[in-house]
A and B are shown apart, each in its own frame.
Chain A
Amino acid sequence: MNKSVSQPDQSAPDAEIADLLRRWHVERFLLREACLMDNHKYDEWLSLWADDLLYWVPCNSEDIDPVRQVSIIYDRRVDLEMRVSRLSGRYAHAQTPKSRLQRVISNIEVLPDADSLIVTSSFVLGEVRMKEEVIVFGRSEHILLPQGDSFLMSRKKVLLLNIDKELPNIVYLL
């Protein structure tokens, strides 16, 4: 063995390695979530959520007070279960046929908090349904709770770029 071949830098701070590892776990989680959403795997997606949850898509502007202002989606668990149950059934006409979806997730930033991670990411989502093609741009803010070598989502806030424009149906998962 040639000792002169450069070895991984043993002096790299443990914190940086921990940071890299954490980012890798987060990215793996977000890509898995994206895949489930793109493929309408409603129940598997629901299983990524903690019991106490908030799935929030604000309307009109990013910093609204949900007590006094309307959102596009403001789901607690019971509402989200209803949403998923409806989409899983046979009568959700707005998804008959289903949308074909492909999203790209990028610009991931991870901020460790006390018992959770605050993760922001950007997405570009293409939808093809009937004869229509729609592109949706947006940013997601996840609060992730560590769970084994993965996470549970306790909160997800999705900020659409066209938050204050006339929207077509957005019935698939964001």
Chain B
Amino acid sequence: MRTGATDARPRNSTAESRLAADGVNFADLAQETRVHSAVYTDERVFEAELQRIFYRTWVYVGHESEVPDAGDYRVRQIGRKPVIMIRAKDGAINVLFNRCRHRGSTVCQQDAGRVRQLKCWFHGWVYGLDGKLIGVPEDDGYGEDFDKSAYGLARPARVESYREFVFASLSDDGPALTENLGPACELIDLMVDASPTSKLLVDAGVQKTVFRGNWKLVGMDGYHAPYVHASVFEIFKKKADQGAGATHSADQRNIVTTIDLGHGHATIDHRVARQRDSTRYFNLLKTTPGGKEYINQMRETYGERSELLLTSAGDPHLGIFPNLQLIGNQIRVVVPVAADHTEVLAFPVRLGGVSDEINARRLRMHESFFGPSGVGTPDDTEVFERAQRGMQVDEAPWIDISRGKCREVRNPDGTIIGHMTDEVPQRGQFRAWRALMTDV
């Protein structure tokens, strides 16, 4: 999917030039085991991140199931730029910039909806679901050589999907999507194939939260839970068979691993631990209407692999750099607004081919922990904001991410594996950050 509308993507913002004038170099700011807090607090770094990361590498836009029918659309952000993900009449997914080619107004005003065409109400220009300009009122005001076909809505340079997860890149250069995702693909599969029909339904709405902190604070962190979520651990102790208590246990900390999957992607890998501790989870499933049928269907569809898929419960605990995470039952999208301002969108997924009761139970488990009033997310948010305030201190400005460097192991395929609590994901994230920020 490519159009001619990919020119004029400045990589050098003036803010960034000022940073360079101050003699600051991004490789110096983000080193292997320590990161300067300016990476989280400095607006000039943030502007450079938009240009070099968000307007360049693969950024998650949405899921194809969100727009099942022709004309269904969602408006999302790539950095500061609003884009429309819309289903065309031929069934194709189009990602279009939400900007009229005439005088720049947005052509889509709501987050979600269904339209027959996209109309700009500034001067009435009309576009088809494929972004082509199909109507210009009073077009006798334009000359003979006015070529409507050159005025379609602009598109990202590249749009590709992996298993209905739609990504866009604003650059012609760089690896294809699946090459970028690499070993993360099989973890995305864990979520999709938790459905016996391999069908995710991203149609359960979205919880939106906002915090006063940097987008990179929302990461894969296997170290924080007993401290940030101490209040929840107390509850787990009391109610081991319910909700998240059924899929987590304290001693998992020694068998869960962190894996740097390359390109900034990382997982906190619970696969082995959950297969070991599957009894409680299976008991929970079997007492849910449709649970036994679900287990049988999974075994029929996936054979031996079904054990892994069932116990993983559709939760790959995966971070895809820079803006996507698959955690618990949700697709989580990180939206950078400013160095100290981030929005987070949590889309709980429903599994195709399973009972309403199972999906409802998964929704209830999600709500219990996540969202602005869950027992988990608010404490994450609070701690992110504390970190953002603390990082204003310039004295001793380094963030330490060395944990586990002494014991991590590099696999033959290039992935790096560490203890659950190690900062393997943080080092991986900043390795990707450094590569993109310094390669201009």
| Complex-state Cα separation, A29 to B363, whole angstroms | 32
Measured between beta carbons, the chain A residues less than 8 angstroms from B235 are 82, 85-86
Q: Are B343 and A66 neighbours in the complex by a CB distance under 8 Å? A: no
| Complex-state Cα separation, A166 to B373, whole angstroms | 12
Measured between beta carbons, the chain A residues less than 8 angstroms from B234 are 86, 89, 91
Q: Are B209 and A166 neighbours in the complex by a CB distance under 8 Å? A: yes
| Complex-state Cα separation, A46 to B47, whole angstroms | 48
Tell yes or no: A83 within 8 A of B by CB: yes
Known A-B contacts A68-B356, A82-B239; the reply to A73 vs B231 at CB < 8 A is: no
Q: Are A168 and B372 neighbours in the complex by a CB distance under 8 Å? A: yes
Q: Are A93 and B228 neighbours in the complex by a CB distance under 8 Å? A: yes
Tell yes or no: A17 within 8 A of B by CB: no
| Complex-state Cα separation, A152 to B70, whole angstroms | 48
| Complex-state Cα separation, A9 to B410, whole angstroms | 90
Tell yes or no: A15 within 8 A of B by CB: no
Known A-B contacts A70-B204, A72-B372, A165-B208; the reply to A78 vs B367 at CB < 8 A is: no
Tell yes or no: B14 within 8 A of A by CB: no
Q: Are A86 and B375 neighbours in the complex by a CB distance under 8 Å? A: yes
Q: A35-50 toward B: CB 8 Å interface, digit per residue (1/0)? A: 0000000000000000
User: Which of A57-65, A110-118, A119-127, A142-150 forms contacts with chain B?
Assistant: A57-65
Q: Are A168 and B211 neighbours in the complex by a CB distance under 8 Å? A: yes
| Complex-state Cα separation, A90 to B379, whole angstroms | 13
Question: Which residue of B232, B356, B381 contacts A86 across the interface (Cβ within 8 Å)?
Answer: B232
Tell yes or no: B255 within 8 A of A by CB: no
| Complex-state Cα separation, A171 to B367, whole angstroms | 13
| Complex-state Cα separation, A69 to B112, whole angstroms | 15
Q: Are A68 and B372 neighbours in the complex by a CB distance under 8 Å? A: no
Q: Counting chain B CB atoms within 10 Å of each CB, which of A73, A86, A169, A174 scores highest?
A: A169
B200 to chain A, nearest CB (A): 14
Question: Which residue of A67, A72, A91 contacts B230 across the interface (Cβ within 8 Å)?
Answer: A91
| Complex-state Cα separation, A96 to B381, whole angstroms | 13
Q: B133-166 toward A: CB 8 Å interface, digit per residue (1/0)? A: 0000000000000000000000000000000000
Which residue from chain A places its CB closest to the CB of B383 in the assembled complex? A93
Which residue from chain A places its CB closest to the CB of B346 in the assembled complex? A70
Measured between beta carbons, the chain A residues less than 8 angstroms from B111 are 164
Q: Counting chain B CB atoms within 10 Å of each CB, which of A60, A90, A164, A166 scores highest?
A: A166
A71 to chain B, nearest CB (A): 6
Contact residues of B between 367 and 423, Cβ < 8 Å to A: 367-368, 371-373, 375, 377-379, 381-383
Q: Are B359 and A78 neighbours in the complex by a CB distance under 8 Å? A: no
Measured between beta carbons, the chain A residues less than 8 angstroms from B348 are 70
Measured between beta carbons, the chain A residues less than 8 angstroms from B207 are 59, 70, 72, 167
Tell yes or no: B123 within 8 A of A by CB: no
Measured between beta carbons, the chain A residues less than 8 angstroms from B378 are 94, 169-171
Tell yes or no: B176 within 8 A of A by CB: no
Known A-B contacts A59-B371, A89-B231; the reply to A69 vs B204 at CB < 8 A is: yes
Question: Which residue of A73, A92, A164 contacts B367 across the interface (Cβ within 8 Å)?
Answer: A73
| Complex-state Cα separation, A72 to B346, whole angstroms | 11
| Complex-state Cα separation, A124 to B420, whole angstroms | 44
Q: Counting chain A CB atoms within 10 Å of each CB, which of B232, B360, B372 scores highest?
A: B372
| Complex-state Cα separation, A170 to B382, whole angstroms | 11
Tell yes or no: A109 within 8 A of B by CB: no
Measured between beta carbons, the chain B residues less than 8 angstroms from A60 are 205-206
Q: B341-372 toward A: CB 8 Å interface, digit per residue (1/0)? A: 00100101010000010011001101110011
Tell yes or no: A74 within 8 A of B by CB: yes
Tell yes or no: A51 within 8 A of B by CB: no
Q: Are A69 and B210 neighbours in the complex by a CB distance under 8 Å? A: no
Measured between beta carbons, the chain A residues less than 8 angstroms from B205 are 59-60, 64, 69-70
Q: Are A57 and B373 neighbours in the complex by a CB distance under 8 Å? A: yes
Q: Are A166 and B343 neighbours in the complex by a CB distance under 8 Å? A: yes
Q: Counting chain B CB atoms within 10 Å of each CB, which of A71, A96, A164 scores highest?
A: A71
| Complex-state Cα separation, A73 to B372, whole angstroms | 9
Measured between beta carbons, the chain A residues less than 8 angstroms from B242 are 78
Tell yes or no: B172 within 8 A of A by CB: no
Which residue from chain B places its CB closest to the CB of A162 in the assembled complex? B208
B240 to chain A, nearest CB (A): 13
Known A-B contacts A91-B231, A94-B378, A171-B378; the reply to A72 vs B373 at CB < 8 A is: yes
Tell yes or no: A79 within 8 A of B by CB: yes
| Complex-state Cα separation, A83 to B367, whole angstroms | 12
Measured between beta carbons, the chain A residues less than 8 angstroms from B228 are 93
29 A-B interface contacts by CB (under 8 A):
A64-B205, A68-B356, A70-B205, A70-B206, A70-B207, A70-B366, A72-B371, A73-B373, A82-B368, A85-B235, A86-B232, A86-B234, A91-B230, A92-B231, A93-B382, A94-B378, A94-B379, A96-B382, A167-B210, A167-B372, A168-B209, A168-B211, A168-B372, A168-B381, A169-B209, A169-B377, A169-B378, A169-B382, A174-B373
User: Which residues in A have some Cβ–Cβ distance to B below 8 Å?
Assistant: 57, 59-60, 64, 66-74, 78-79, 82-83, 85-86, 89-94, 96, 164-171, 174
